[in-house]
Amino acid sequence: MSGNQGGPAGHGPADVLSHVELLRRGDRAAGVLARLGVGHDDPVPVLLPMGLESVVATLACIRLGTQRLTLPVGNHVRFVRERIAASGARVVICADACRIDGQVYRVKVNLDRALAALPGVRAVLVVPQLAQPVPWVPGRDRWWHEEEPEEGGAAPRPYPGVMTDASPAGPDAHARRSLLDFDDPLADRAPDDTDRGWGEGPAPEAGEGDLERFLRERPPHHL
């Protein structure tokens, strides 16, 4: 059974996460996978473009000792079906859709085609990337941002699923730079860069050690 479900209507500016915030997101995602029955050494197929959720999914797999199985987001239905079938995976993480170099890939649509003959997959975590309807299987499909609530119960804000090989240009360049993107980190100077060295972070607070200061730092460039 399928139907149309719509993700969040839009995306606000993305906050830059500190190292500790990123690790907490990974821990919460690991909790989601564990609740869905994912255990040590279990495979977790992931169909995501480069983005925050892909990093969080990797951290979650590391936390649980699971095997992340990275699969292409393009039109590779047969390949995806064969890899998931061979892995015996029961939980899959995918984007609803994503845009790569201007082309939109309907990731969830293609995944559903691949899963048509794979009843063993009992849960699909869908990461909202583009605001458009996607096919939905009640009881199996779940929105990532609803399953991985932030501390206090709020749902984390999804990040736009855009990949590009060029730096932002045009009148909206400043607005685009306020979002988390994965352009070449060497193309521009990182906003936290200083002449004193790589990844210079905030000044240490009174009584604060190196570890505490590191956890408050924001990762350089694009994380």
Percent of the chain with pLDDT over 90: 50
pLDDT in tens, 150-180: 555 444 544 444 443 333 444 444 444 444 4
Query: When comparing pLDDT for 197 and 42, which is higher?
Result: 42
* Backbone dihedral region for residue 127 (phi beyond 0: left; psi -120 to 50: alpha; all else: beta): beta
99, 133, 91, 162 alpha-carbon torsion, rounded to 10°: 20
pLDDT in tens, 185-212: 566 665 555 544 444 555 666 667 777 7
Of 92, 97, 117, the C-alpha closest to 108 is: 97
* CB neighbour class for 70 (10 Å; exposed up to 12, middle 13-18, buried from 19): middle
| pLDDT at site 165 | 36
Strand partners, 93: 46, 125
Could you give the domains of the chain? 15-150 (3.40.50.980)
pTM of the model: 0.66
